[in-house]
Amino acid sequence: MTAEPIRITAGANAHEHEPAAATCTCGHDGSESMVLDSRTIPHAIRHAAIFGALEAIQPGISLDLMASHDPLPLLAQLERNHPNTFSITYLESGPDVWTLHLTRIL
């Protein structure tokens, strides 16, 4: 099995930042959405990678998560570990891809 690259892409309102900058100075409002396609992450580390991404975002920031199935076990784990921390909206519900919009509220 060969490893597929993990692709995290910025949403429509995103912009480029200097990679060496610790904080952004471009004046954006921080509300852009990122897209994480979990289908490219090896199954053995998929939940850990998703949780790492979710834990890294600040309140008010959103992440669109793409999955090959309805991620109900992941959502249950998220609620157990981080209750009432994310609002979740289904943008696409199969049959080939599920896309969820997760916004950190706390």
CB distance 101 to 33 below 8 Å: yes
In the chain, the domains with their CATH numbers are 35-104 (3.30.110.40)
CB distance 67 to 83 below 8 Å: no
**pLDDT of 60:** 93
Q: Which amino acid is at 26?
A: C
Summarised one tens digit per residue, pLDDT across range 60-103 is 999 999 999 999 999 999 999 999 999 999 999 999 999 999 99
Classified as helix, coil or strand, 101 is strand
Tokens of 90: 């289904």
Summarised one tens digit per residue, pLDDT across range 33-46 is 699 999 999 999 99
Tokens of 64: 């669109």
pLDDT category of residue 21 using cuts at 50, 70 and 90: very low
* Half-sphere exposure for 43 (CA within 13 Å, toward CB): 4
